Chains A and B, each alone.
Chain A
Amino acid sequence: DSGVTQTPKHLITATGQRVTLRCSPRSGDLSVYWYQQSLDQGLQFLIQYYNGEERAKGNILERFSAQQFPDLHSELNLSSLELGDSALYFCASSVVGTYYNEQFFGPGTRLTVL
């Protein structure tokens, strides 16, 4: 158990809908990362937040957005869902301020868009 929690575990929805994925980082970790893992695209970095502020952006679609709240939990919002958005979404957290950035991953949310 990494100490990172994600809810829900599974999500089934229809095209065009909007969903919110939630992540709570390990105690003491200020940085949260979101990743999308699909069979054909591998593990794709979406976005990073540090202490409430966006720090780095990867291949995140405009239909997706995220935020990190004062209690450091983060939410990833996916809207106007398409079939191709079906994937595993992982959240990871890390301590920032050390020289390196070892990330600890949550169990993931499996999103199925029908």
Chain B
Amino acid sequence: ELKVEQNPLFLSMQEGKNYTIYCNYSTTSDRLYWYRQDPGKSLESLFVLLSNGAVKQEGRLMASLDTKARLSTLHITAAVHDLSATYFCAVDTTTSGTYKYIFGTGTRLKVLA
């Protein structure tokens, strides 16, 4: 069964600090997606990572993918309050002809001023 686990589940950090969110998945896949969800709002696509070693950056967020370790990281540099949100990773794969798109549990990030 495809499982996608994120840690930490909750993260409270001071503005200006750096931190990393981890996403582990249990099956072979070279496609990993990161989404952001503001409280009470919908999900917004942040990054699509398509190969081993892929790295993408947007502002203070940088995502990377290690398909051999089945691990993706979302690194936050010099956090600001506007980054407070819940971050989800997701993996898709086809196994025995069945397509699955599974989201992680989400990491709720709160950046304190």
Closest to A92 in B: B43
Q: Cβ of B105 < 8 Å from any Cβ of A?
A: yes
Within B1-57, the residues touching A (CB, 8 Å) are 31, 33, 35, 41-45, 48, 50
Q: Are A56 and B100 in contact (CB under 8 A)?
A: yes
Q: Are B44 and A105 in contact (CB under 8 A)?
A: yes
Interface size class of B (residues with CB under 8 A): 20 to 34
Interface size class of A (residues with CB under 8 A): 20 to 34
**B100 cross-chain contacts in A, Cβ below 8 A:** 45, 56, 58
In the complex, how many angstroms separate the beta carbon of A56 from the nearest chain B beta carbon?
Answer: 5
Surface stretch bound by B, among A12-20, A61-69, A75-83, A94-102: A94-102
Binary A-proximity of B69-106 (CB < 8 A = 1, otherwise 0)? 00000000000000000001000100000111111011
**A58 cross-chain contacts in B, Cβ below 8 A:** 100
Q: Are B99 and A103 in contact (CB under 8 A)?
A: no
B→A interface (CB under 8 Å): 31, 33, 35, 41-45, 48, 50, 88, 92, 98-103, 105-106
Q: What are 15 A-to-B residue pairs whose CB atoms are below 8 Å?
A: A2-B42, A42-B105, A43-B106, A55-B99, A56-B98, A56-B99, A92-B43, A100-B31, A100-B48, A101-B33, A102-B45, A105-B35, A105-B42, A106-B42, A108-B42
